[in-house]
Amino acid sequence: MTLIEVILTLAILTILLAGLGGLVGGALSQWRYGQGRSELLYQGNFAMERMVEATSRSRRLLVPLADNPATVAVVENERELLAVTLDPGLDRDADGFADADNDKDGLVDEDIPTDNTNDGVPGIVGIDDDGDGNVDEDPGGADGFTDNDEDGVVREDCIDGIDNDGDGTIDEDIPKDNDELGGNDGDFDNDGDGLESEDWLDPVVFFVSADGTTLMERMPTLNPVTGADYAERPILQAQLVELEVERLPAGPDDRGVLVEITLLLHDAEAGDLTLQSLVRVGKGE
């Protein structure tokens, strides 16, 4: 072979190898995208299932609140977090009592204290319940922490299925006398067993971490002493995580509260992913 023939052969081989390298690189890139997409979809579906299950098996939506007509500057029914009460049938330690049955009397949420979540602060501890930018703000009341929706007014709404304070939400700020506003009848033993304030509301909270990369789930610990006894764990991680939760306005024929949950995810390998679910509170109870 002459030198020219060798050079031409090498040139052809170089072109072929470059093309083959491009094909291999593209295939590897597509493989990484597919793997990343599958992992992100798996995590996203798992997180969405956790939120849907918690909502559908809960008796009460705690956050978002209904939009209060009196607060023009704040939209309460659209939030970046979700809080519901613990599934009344959940028994993680299999002791024969529901985890939400704080006094182990066989009933759940039957004797709610003035501090509805029994955590020593207005609303849910560490959470901006009403979306005004403040967390656990001072209730300004002389009778303890009774501002359970953080709207600045205490003892607003007893358990009667009526919006007593006209803020759009029903039974959301329960006084110590659960069945009569302000405790006018002097009876704080709401289940008639001789004890008071036995069974608080146990929040399950889903929120995004401060760095925007992790979806967290907060659950009450087993046999909590107060509502401030909880544990948090990550249930989804990505480069960017956004959670949007909307409490939909109730119509005249609605049976229960509807919640729309949207999960927005971004990953360098998998790109963008959006998951959305519409769930009725208490549907799966």
Residue 80 has pLDDT above 90, yes or no: yes
Residue 220, strand partner residues: 230
Kindly report the average pLDDT of the chain as a whole number. 82
What does the pLDDT look like over 99-150, one tens digit per residue?
999 989 898 988 888 888 999 888 899 999 888 888 888 765 555 667 888 7
What does the pLDDT look like over 33-45, one tens digit per residue?
667 788 888 899 9
Alpha helices by DSSP H, listed for the chain, are 3-56
pTM: 0.82
Assigned token pair, 99: 């985890």
Report the length, in residues, of the chain.
285
Residue 255 has pLDDT above 70, yes or no: no
How far is Cα 158 from Cα 169, in angstroms, rounded to an integer? 11
Assigned token pair, 193: 């067993």
Per-residue pLDDT at 109: 86
Residue 260 has pLDDT above 60, yes or no: yes
What does the pLDDT look like over 220-247, one tens digit per residue?
999 999 999 999 999 999 888 899 999 9
Q: What counts of helices (H) and strands (E) characterise the chain?
A: 1, 9
Q: Return the closest-CA partner of residue 45 out of 254, 285, 277, 252.
A: 277
Encode 107-176 in three state secondary structure: CCCCCCCCCCCCCCCCCCCCCCCCCCCCCCCCCCCCCCCCCCCCCCCCCCCCCCCCCCCCCCCCCCCCCC
- Cα dihedral 267/270/272/276 (nearest 10): -100
**Contact by Cβ (8 Å): 195, 103:** yes
Residue 64 falls in which region: left (phi positive, over 0), alpha (psi -120 to 50) or beta: beta
